[in-house]
């Protein structure tokens, strides 16, 4: 029984390698690979300026999980917010939903 619980726990545990916080230079290199970019700031923040080709999925929205779940969990995603706080929390949620690879911009849009 203990082995079964351990196997179940390992199978359901988040992937520690699915989220990586990267600096601007690495983020720029990843953008060249045409990965989807997601801005998790509010629509107002997004309208004030955003990274080219980024889609806005508001982390503060009640529908965040529903909206983020529409993306392919097996594709690499680039994510950012204003400072790195919301995108860090969003990345953890996405990891728990089964997303396999997420790159989070260190320092967020303020570092852009």
Number of neighbouring beta carbons within 10 Å of residue 105: 27
When pLDDT is cut at 50, 70 and 90, the band that residue 17 belongs to is confident
At the top level of CATH, the class of 16-111 is: alpha beta
Residue 7 burial by CB count (10 A; 0-12/13-18/19+): exposed, middle or buried?
exposed
> Average pLDDT, whole number, for the chain?
90
Strands of 102-105's sheet in order across: 19-22, 102-105, 77-80, 36-39, 54-56
For the cut 60, the answer to whether the pLDDT of residue 10 exceeds it is no
Terminal Cα-to-Cα distance of the chain (whole angstroms): 51
The pTM of the full predicted model, rounded to 2 decimals, is: 0.85
**pLDDT of amino acid 14:** 53
Catalytic residue list: 81
């Amino acid at each position: 029984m203990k082995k079964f619980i351990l196997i179940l726990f390992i199978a359901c545990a988040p992937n520690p390698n699915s989220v990586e916080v990267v600096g601007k230079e690495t983020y720029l290199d990843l953008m060249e690979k045409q990965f989807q970019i997601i801005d998790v700031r509010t629509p107002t923040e997004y309208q004030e300026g955003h990274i080219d080709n980024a889609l806005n999925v508001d982390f503060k929205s009640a529908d965040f999980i529903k909206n983020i779940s529409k993306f392919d969990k097996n594709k690499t995603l680039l994510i950012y917010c204003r400072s790195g706080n919301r995108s860090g929390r969003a990345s953890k949620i996405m990891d728990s939903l089964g997303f396999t690879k997420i790159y989070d911009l260190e320092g967020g849009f303020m570092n852009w």
